[in-house]
Structure 1
Amino acid sequence: MKSKKHIINLALGISFATTLFVVGCSSSENAAVTKSGAELWGENCVRCHNAPSPTAFGDIQWEAIGQHMRIRAGLTAVQTDKVVEFLQMAN
């Protein structure tokens, strides 16, 4: 009887810890996805160098720059698309 109760408590504890882990991971991913292109540009482009004005390049150039810098900045495809869209709308 005591052993069965111990196993149930252990299973509940593991389930609770797993739930906390999964919820914690998904909320940080969601935070990155919900940021605007302007926020992502400010956080990622300015940290390494003085980012040029959005008017410094045309739409096609921003697309190429976005793909190149995506790798260097470690951005996801969604984040890169948001940054490029922001820059293209601002030029």
Structure 2
Amino acid sequence: MLSDWWTDHASRPVPGVTPTVALGPALHRKLGLTAPPRLKDLPSFPHDRLEPRHGGGDVLVQLCGPSAAAVAGFEAVVGEGGQVL
């Protein structure tokens, strides 16, 4: 599913924008899949003030670009057709 989405949207890039998609171990558990052995929940780091209700995420999408307008342009492209990231 993700590879189909990526293939479709990678053919319409927005210059200078780099998308990163990360899958957490919780997603594998929820889908009944075995996660790779090295995939673990991240530990807390010094000075973190983590709230458990905000942890254990399934998917992280990060968009980096040269400007807010470029990132917004990418979001507009991947958001076509009502798709939700």
TM-score, normalised to structure 1, is 0.25
> Which structure has more strand as a fraction of its residues?
2
> Which structure has more helix as a fraction of its residues?
1
TM-score, normalised to structure 2, is 0.26
Rg larger in 1 or in 2? 1
Larger RCO (CA under 8 A, 6+ residues apart): 2
